Amino acid sequence: MSIYDTLNPEQKRAVLHDKGPLLILAGAGSGKTRVLTHRIAYLIEEIGVNPWNILAITFTNKAAREMRERVDKLVGYGSENIWVSTFHSTCVRILRRYIDTIGYSRSFTIYDSDDQKTLMREVCKYLNIDTKKTNERSILSVISKAKDELITPEEFERTAGGDYNQSRYAKAYIEYQRRLKASNALDFDDLIMKTVELFQTNKEALTYFQNRFRYIMVDEYQDTNTAQFHLIHLLSSGINEYGDREFNLCVVGDDDQSIYKFRGANIYNILNFEKAFPNAQVIKLEQNYRSTKNILNAANEVIANNQGRKDKALWTDNEEGEPVHFTHFNTDFEEADNITAEIQRMVESGEANYHDFAILYRTNAQSRLFEEKLVMRNIPYRIIGSVNFYARKEIKDILAYLKTINNGLDNLSVKRIINVPRRGIGLVTIDKVTTYALQENISFYEALTRANHIPGLERMASKITPFVSLIEGLKSRLNQEGYSLSELIDDVLDATGYLRELEEENSEEAMDRIANIDELVNKLVTYEENAPEEPTLAGFLEEVALVSDIDNLEEGADNIVLMTLHSAKGLEFPYVYMCGMEEGIFPGYMSIYAENPVEEIEEERRLCYVGITRAMKCLSLSAAKQRMLRGETQFNRPSRFIQEIPRYLLKVTAPGPGRFPSSNQNSNFTTTARENNPMNTNFDKQNSWSAKKTTDSYKPYLLPKAKHFEGSNMGSLDYGVGDSVKHIKFGVGIVTNITKGGKDYEVTVDFPKFGVKKLLSTFANLVKINE
């Protein structure tokens, strides 16, 4: 009995395919990772391929790690030589080796989206682009799209021609790229684009990697963009010893799960694979091993509403299972309350464990209500994606120190930390130094080292010089023999006084920040201990730059997970709750009112398909009749995706009585939840942090009184239109109007000295004056 006997016929065919291009159309839950790992094993053990010649590319670190683990189990010897990594880290590794041949230095920094935005803000200021009319983000997204399509700034400018807007974007692109280069920095898109550029200009590098990667496998192929396509095409078009192009390329994907078009994914990569790689074989994996018949049928019915798909029909041998549940709640509050109650009940009855559950939603903002409920009920949970650990201020600050030490050209990082902690160096000084650096064509940091020669800055030199010697001191220590990275970070925390300042502040927030910094130190120590090669500062920084929140999703922890539908791709759970199934939420209003709604809605539908197919045993959908969104009450109809599921697959449940029929009981719950809150200790730091935060900011929910509040409810304010009121700052004025805004009253008051002001009643503390 061999390991290949457990495969079904199609899977086996895919595994035994050893030469030439292969497209595996793998439906959800059809065992594609299994096929990939078994194929690697087959190539090594049966065909005699050197593990060293195999490259497997995924999108997330988590997927890469999983694949590595599974391959390790399957392949006894030499599996560590298989190159398993994400697109981005693959490119970083290639660039670290060759990037100096295209004009960057090997110690380049990677800019994340925050950094990109900061840089773009500088660019806009420099080019006099009004960021109120065109915000940084939209410019960045234009640039990102261009980079995905391998369009250089110069080309972009050429095609822009006389078009005013386009040429403005072009100018921004050029300047942005110039500054990245000056900072010796690459953004995420550059990682791919520059690697392609390297391969196009440096034949030696290309040949080296073509010879190295004789067998290439790509997971989630439907999410690749044009740049990634070219990268793979270049890498796989090596010539073998008989002078033939082999294209030993095996890609796995599912066009129905393509959900990253907004990020440049090019669906034609998978739809036209057979054109791009002649003689490609296509194998379809259509048997689903994950879900019940009912769930799978619901998924099939929904996705059938999309046009232009690759023809396929997913089926399963699994049992029929429960029908798909659907509940139409009255409010979003009731939705969160009932779902969390149901989960709790099922766990307490011993039917399931917390880790069997996932709550999925369209937008991160929807997690908040659930979080509040989970805290109240003492249910352990983990939210993926809302606040990235590495996006926190204190973490970015410390990393900026490390980046400055690693790459002094990184202007952004230097500017970030020059006055953190406070050194009395303000904006004026920074501006002067920047201007000087620009004039002299040197980096910002270089300019700092010459502070006492900069006209007009002689007096500031006494503040700047200590900073420079601080950095220089740290740099030189790093160069000493036997000085470790963990010593470096300790020295950074100590010598900068960063930690001391937080300790002295002694607030709860400061304690959280310290805890986060400790966590960062831990990560660095872990990196040092586990690094495959010699641990380096650049290595650590790049690892940190390329992780996403989903990568930290630990297995085995017994908690519910909450995440967006996007993050859920590739995962599976016995019980899945998809909430907020409403028109305007999912599909989102952005897609409904888009220029090309058909296309956009189809992408949303694929997202829905992804969500449904995450469920193994039981799927529950829900919508709310009214929902609070950015302080406003919205009334949405149930999502069209619900209608697309045939009635016989659905079990429509009436919403429960609602635990909180009237609003005033809530406050009791808030306080008790706070006091008996022993589960904080069971959580990791991130959770207790977020839990605390929301508990503190929790306010009792007021049932929205949307329409008819004018009469009776006015009583809760002790003044009305026409009354004289006193404000602590504005003095006495006359109320001219009162409207309901969110949970509060917006009171318009005419102050004789300050004019007409709109105030929120809870904050304004207006006092009625009796005349």
* From 187, 189, 219, 600, the catalytic residue: 219
* Identity of the residue, 203 or 699, whose beta carbon is nearer to DNA in the bound complex: 699
Among 166, 306, 419, 486, binds DNA (CB under 7 A): 419
Measuring CA to CA, which residue among 200, 160, 192 is closest to residue 57? 192
Instruction: Kindly state the tokens that stand for 714.
Output: 């006015």
Concerning whether 614 is annotated as a catalytic residue, the answer is yes
Concerning whether 643 is annotated as a catalytic residue, the answer is no
Concerning whether 33 is annotated as a catalytic residue, the answer is yes
Query: CB atoms < 10 A from the CB of 292, how many?
Result: 22
Minimum Å distance from CB 239 to DNA?
30
194 binding DNA? (CB under 7 A) = no
Instruction: Kindly state the tokens that stand for 408.
Output: 């002094």
633 binding DNA? (CB under 7 A) = no
Concerning whether 32 is annotated as a catalytic residue, the answer is yes
695 binding DNA? (CB under 7 A) = no
Distance between CA 327 and CA 640 in Å, rounded? 14
Distance set, CA 719 to CA 57, 724, 741, 753, 764 (Å)? 66, 8, 17, 21, 13
Among 59, 247, 326, 745, binds DNA (CB under 7 A): 59
The answer to whether residues 569 and 225 touch, using CB atoms and an 8 Å cutoff, is: no
Instruction: Kindly state the tokens that stand for 718.
Output: 């002790």
498 binding DNA? (CB under 7 A) = no
Concerning whether 630 is annotated as a catalytic residue, the answer is no
* From 11, 32, 37, 496, the catalytic residue: 32
The answer to whether residues 136 and 169 touch, using CB atoms and an 8 Å cutoff, is: no
Burial of 456 (0-12, 13-18, 19+ CB in 10 A): exposed
* DSSP H helical ranges for 533-676: 537-545, 565-568, 589-592, 597-612, 640-643, 666-675
744 binding DNA? (CB under 7 A) = yes
Which residues lie closer than 8 Å to 18 by C-beta, 6 or more apart?
Answer: 42, 43, 47
Amino acid (1-letter code) at residue 198: L
Among 76, 103, 426, 752, binds DNA (CB under 7 A): 426
* Identity of the residue, 261 or 309, whose beta carbon is nearer to DNA in the bound complex: 261
Among 239, 304, 590, 756, binds DNA (CB under 7 A): 590
98 binding DNA? (CB under 7 A) = no
* Identity of the residue, 21 or 588, whose beta carbon is nearer to DNA in the bound complex: 588
613 binding DNA? (CB under 7 A) = no
Measuring CA to CA, which residue among 387, 156, 144 is closest to residue 260? 144
* From 220, 255, 356, 604, the catalytic residue: 220
The residues in 540-579 that bind DNA, with binding defined as CB under 7 A, are 546, 548-550, 563-564, 566-567
Stretch that binds DNA, among 17-25, 481-489, 585-593, 644-652 (CB under 7 A): 585-593
The answer to whether residues 563 and 364 touch, using CB atoms and an 8 Å cutoff, is: no
Minimum Å distance from CB 459 to DNA?
9
634 binding DNA? (CB under 7 A) = no
Among 156, 188, 436, 577, binds DNA (CB under 7 A): 188
145 binding DNA? (CB under 7 A) = no
The answer to whether residues 617 and 574 touch, using CB atoms and an 8 Å cutoff, is: yes
753 binding DNA? (CB under 7 A) = no
626 binding DNA? (CB under 7 A) = no
465 binding DNA? (CB under 7 A) = no
Interface with DNA (CB under 7 A), residue total 52
Instruction: Kindly state the tokens that stand for 84.
Output: 């398993």
Sequence-separated contacts (24+) of 150-153 with Cβ below 8 Å: 150/193, 150/196, 150/226, 150/227, 150/230, 153/177
Enumerate binding residues for DNA (CB under 7 A): 59-60, 86-88, 112-113, 121, 131-132, 135, 137, 188, 262-263, 362-365, 385, 419, 422-429, 546, 548-550, 563-564, 566-567, 588, 590-591, 594, 628, 630-631, 697, 699, 729, 741-744, 757
Catalytic positions: 32-33, 219-220, 257, 614
